[in-house]
Structure 1
């Protein structure tokens, strides 16, 4: 599942004030975040301490549900979606970037759906924090840090995208925000089921979202 973000395919006006902060370091290199926070290390869990386990469980499910709905909204195919409970994650030994907390396996994405897919998880978590009166800059930075894998995957195939230079990564967030604006209730419908069941197959996600699942790509490696 690889694609690129084609700037010529996107009509986009950057927000008036976007500042990328470089306070957080991963392996000695700055990890840009839109939200300022002290450097508590590379593990996003260190930034989320004010949230209960139940709140983190819901937010994690919202993250994966947003990925899936972004794909469905663009005509892509969802294989399955998984998440984990905070209690279960605490039983695993973290790596330098935490532990794997969930996955959304998809294929057959268009260029813009590819961008929205990778941005949707972190933007959905940020939105959930705001709508529930929980948002702080530190929590929001933790959400961004939790998107380390999503960002790195997109950037590998899009070297023209940067943070404050080149094609600004804010375009990825903006595309994701537009999808969430249109499909926010669908994200919640999927997340509400995912948070209790922890795994949904693609057809179940499509039924909950009220959107058709797309066509499986013949070149996809997922079963």
Structure 2
């Protein structure tokens, strides 16, 4: 993983692949922990949720990224989301994606922290659905598809990570993210609650809500 890992990861890696590989996105296999249902049209896996629930999911996703950045000592510039209603009118980008939100930060250099940061969004959404009695296999696949950009960043920077089992299985990213969420779940929810209505939060505001000080701005960051 990029940067220097600060500690050994203690986890139980799968001996063989636990991933489904029947989906292609932009010509590349996209592995999922849950099988994409044949009876539901691709891209509609979350459509049975109310707009407000999807807005909250989006806020939870970006809040998790932001708090993971703070917990790792990085400097968070902002977090923002768009509403579900707004996204219906957006045109997909060249990869067929519509960005629903983002977190901008800098000075995140530790490898394990980077993995937790990138995996935190999708794992936070999955956890929120479970805790609110809304989880289903179909919705879980929808969340995994929504993490396409996050996963690509991890995989492009870490070509040794794969989906065939063993120590370098992508499940380690989820494992690190789940560990982070178990420690900072209250902070993630506090940020998400405000982000869902405000739609844009500065790093300072996020730090106040999370109870974690913002980190040091990178000397090479021009933002």
TM-score normalised to structure 1 length: 0.91
- Tell me the CA shift for residue 18 of structure 1: 6.4
Structure 2, gaps ≥5 residues long: none
Asked if the contact 1:4/1:158 (under 8 Å) is kept, the reply is: no
Equivalents in 2 of 1:156, 1:80: separation in Å?
24
1:32 is paired with a residue of what secondary structure?
strand
Structure 2 SS opposite 1:10: coil
**2:62 & 2:50 partners in 1: Cα distance?**
19
Which residue of the other structure, out of 61, 65, 74, is the alignment partner of 2:63? 65
Distance 1:5 1:123, change over 3 A: farther
Question: Using the alignment, how far apart are the partners of 2:3 and 2:99 within structure 1?
Answer: 25
- The residue number in structure 1 matching 2:151 is 151
**CA displacement at 1:76 relative to structure 2:** 1.3
1:94-113 aligned within 5 A:
94-95=92-93, 96-109=95-108, 110-113=110-113
**Deviations 1:89-146 (CA, angstroms, capped at 9, x unpaired):** 0111234533111000111112111000000000000001111111111110110000
Q: In terms of mean alpha carbon deviation, does 103-112 or 167-176 score higher?
A: 103-112
2: CA distance, partners of 1:70 / 1:8: 17
Instruction: Describe the superposition over 1:20-68 as per-residue Cα deviations: whole angstroms up to 9, x where unpaired.
Output: 0012221343210001123634x4xx21121110000000000000001
Verify: 1:127 aligned to 2:99, yes or no: no
Q: Deviations over 1:146-176 (max 9, x none)?
A: 0000000111110110112561010000000
Question: 1-side partners of 2:73 and 2:209: how far apart?
Answer: 16
Report if aligned partners of 2:61, 2:120 keep a CA contact under 8 Å in 1: yes
TM-score, scaled to structure 2: 0.91
1:77 Cα deviation after fit: 1.2
Residues 68 and 37 of structure 1: CA distance in aligned 2, closer, same or farther (over 3 Å): same
- Conservation of the 8 A alpha-carbon contact between 2:62 and 2:80: yes
The 10-residue stretch of structure 1 (52-61 or 108-117) with the greater mean CA deviation from structure 2: 108-117
Does residue 208 of the first structure (1) align with residue 206 of the second (2)?
no
Aligned-partner SS, 1:128: helix
Structure 1 residue aligned with 2:77: 79
Moved over 6 A (4+): none
